[in-house]
Structures are given as structure tokens and as C-alpha cells.
């Protein structure tokens, strides 16, 4: 019977120091991480400042959900830069890089699993959606991220990587359906449709870029290398998270009354009714 140590997966065979040296020696790859760390730090300070005068409970909930996005991101990107949530994977037979060890920033999926539900929570509150729909879209989103992680980590079969990619894409379609079909009507009824429409389009267009980079990068057909793929993800994160959050918080700060009055479907009716009666 072989020693237990011999069954360790390739992901954890390289030490963190080795991974960090690999990242540090690739300026393009390293910059894709540190630029995001810096911008996340700036975003946290800015969003704390922007939320200083928010008073209504519903607007505060949107603010907290939005603030958590850069907080999760800075933690995740530090994990990537430190070598904690990044490693090497040997690509399976059939892959363009079959038999080669490829750098896998698997920690990004942890980021998306924790941050994208906060984006959807903020959008759902803005649209004044019902609790069942909000729960559904958030669980579909988490399932999308977890199955995406499975697609990135499988080394036993190239075909199974694409099977999990397809499953993840199916969950993504469910999220898109809610964003494009159901929530616009809710936002129109709540009177927040103008800003919701802008944020919805921003979210949908940018989120479509993530599976595209997965397919073109080392996890998929390997047309793009690790550094360019990492920059692709980082650029998407910058706009889909920090720019998105800034636009949302700016609108909420200027239209707090409209947000409070919209709080009917998720149990904020008392606050909204009181505001209307005033």
C-alpha cells in the first residue's frame, strides 16, 4: 500500500514559495493581482465614506452588501498573490497542454462565490424583488461558481471539465433570466428601473466575459496564457465590482427616499409606508 503522502494532488505539490516566485517573476501576471488589491483598497475607503450619511435600513442593507464586494475581493487577491489560493495543475489528456503543469488561480472561484451573491442581493433589493426570487437567483449563482470551480480543478478528464463548464453555464442562464426578464418588471414597479437598467446591462455584459475567458484560457482551449487570462478576469472584476458598486452607491445616496419607499416585497413595507404617509 503506497504511503499517504504519494496521493497528494498536483494542486498542492508545489510549495507556496514556489508559486509566489512564479507569479512574481511574471510581471504581467503579478500586476493583474496587485493592481486589483490597490483598487479594492481604494474602493473600500470610498464606499465607507459614501455610506456615512445613509440612514434607512433598506439603503443600509444595499450599502453593506455592496461594501462586502471589495472586502471579499481584497482578501481573495491577497490570497492569490501570497500563493495561498493558487497552484499548479497537470492538464489531462486531450487538453492543448496535456501533461503540462499549468498555474491555476482557483481562489478566484472563492471570490466569486462570496462576492457575486452580494451584487445580486444589492440588485434584488434595488428592484424590490420578492424573497423567493432573490433566494433562487443567489443559490443559482453560488451553484454556478462551485461547478465552475469543479470544471477548473478536474484533472482526470478533459471532457469532464467541459461537462462541468456546461452545468455552470446552465446555472448562469438561470441568473441571466432573472436579471433580464423578471427583475426589470419589479424595478419598474418600484420606481428604480432607470438605474436598475444601467446596472443590469453592465452586469450581464461583463459577467458574460468570465466564461469566455475560461474557455479561451488555460482551463479551456488554452489560446490565452495564464497572465493574459488573469488580466482579463481582473479587468472584468474592476468594472463589474468597483465601478458597478460606485454607480449603485452614488444613486442610493442621492435617492435614499426612493429606496426606502420601495421596500415592500422583502418586509420593508412599514418603513416604506411611513415614508409615503409623511
Beta carbons of 203 and 137 less than 8 angstroms apart: no
Beta carbons of 89 and 99 less than 8 angstroms apart: no
For residue 274, the model assigns a pLDDT of 41
Which tens digit of pLDDT belongs to each residue from 75-105? 999 999 998 999 899 999 999 999 889 989 9
Instruction: Compute the distance between CA of residue 151 and CA of residue 167 in angstroms, rounded to an integer.
Output: 9
For residue 264, the model assigns a pLDDT of 56
Which tens digit of pLDDT belongs to each residue from 144-173? 999 999 999 999 999 999 999 999 999 999
Fold of 9-266: Rhopdopsin 7-helix transmembrane proteins (1.20.1070)
In the predicted model, residues of the chain with pLDDT beneath 50 are: 1-9, 268-278
Provide the 8-state DSSP code for 56: S
Backbone angles phi, psi at 90, to 5 degrees: -85, 120
Residue that the C-alpha cell 440588485 belongs to: 123
For residue 211, the model assigns a pLDDT of 95
Torsion sign, CA atoms 249, 112, 144, 146: negative
Beta carbons of 266 and 128 less than 8 angstroms apart: yes
Instruction: Compute the distance between CA of residue 163 and CA of residue 102 in angstroms, rounded to an integer.
Output: 20
Go through 258-276 and write b for each residue having 16 or more CB atoms within 10 A of its CB, e for each that does not: bbbbbbbbbebeebbeebe
Beta carbons of 135 and 93 less than 8 angstroms apart: no
Amino acid at each position: 500500500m503506497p504511503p499517504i503522502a504519494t496521493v497528494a494532488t498536483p494542486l498542492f505539490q508545489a510549495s507556496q514559495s514556489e508559486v509566489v516566485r512564479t507569479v512574481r517573476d511574471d510581471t504581467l501576471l503579478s500586476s493583474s493581482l496587485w493592481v486589483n488589491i490597490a483598487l479594492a483598497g481604494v474602493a473600500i475607503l470610498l464606499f465607507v465614506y459614501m455610506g456615512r450619511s445613509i440612514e434607512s435600513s433598506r439603503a443600509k442593507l444595499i450599502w453593506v452588501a455592496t461594501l462586502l464586494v471589495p472586502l471579499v475581493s481584497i482578501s481573495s487577491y491577497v490570497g492569490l498573490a501570497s500563493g495561498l489560493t493558487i497552484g499548479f495543475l497537470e492538464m489531462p489528456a486531450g487538453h492543448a497542454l496535456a501533461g503540462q503543469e499549468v498555474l491555476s488561480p482557483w481562489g478566484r472561484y472563492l471570490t466569486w462565490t462570496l462576492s457575486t451573491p452580494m451584487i445580486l442581493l444589492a440588485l434584488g433589493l434595488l428592484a424590490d424583488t420578492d424573497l423567493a426570487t432573490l433566494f433562487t437567483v443567489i443559490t443559482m449563482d453560488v451553484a454556478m461558481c462551485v461547478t465552475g470551480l469543479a470544471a477548473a480543478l478536474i484533472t482526470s478528464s478533459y471532457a469532464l471539465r467541459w461537462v462541468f463548464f456546461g452545468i455552470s453555464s446552465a446555472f448562469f442562464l438561470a441568473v441571466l433570466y432573472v436579471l433580464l426578464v423578471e427583475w426589470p418588471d419589479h424595478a419598474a414597479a418600484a420606481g428604480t428601473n432607470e438605474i436598475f437598467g444601467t446596472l443590469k446591462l453592465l452586469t450581464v455584459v461583463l459577467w458574460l466575459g468570465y466564461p469566455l475567458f475560461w474557455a479561451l484560457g488555460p482551463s479551456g482551449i488554452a489560446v490565452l496564457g495564464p497572465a493574459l487570462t488573469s488580466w482579463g478576469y481582473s479587468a472584468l472584476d474592476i468594472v463589474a465590482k468597483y465601478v458597478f458598486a460606485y454607480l449603485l452607491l452614488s444613486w442610493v445616496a442621492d435617492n435614499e427616499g426612493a429606496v426606502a419607499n420601495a421596500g415592500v416585497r422583502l418586509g420593508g413595507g412599514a418603513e416604506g409606508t411611513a415614508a409615503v404617509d409623511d
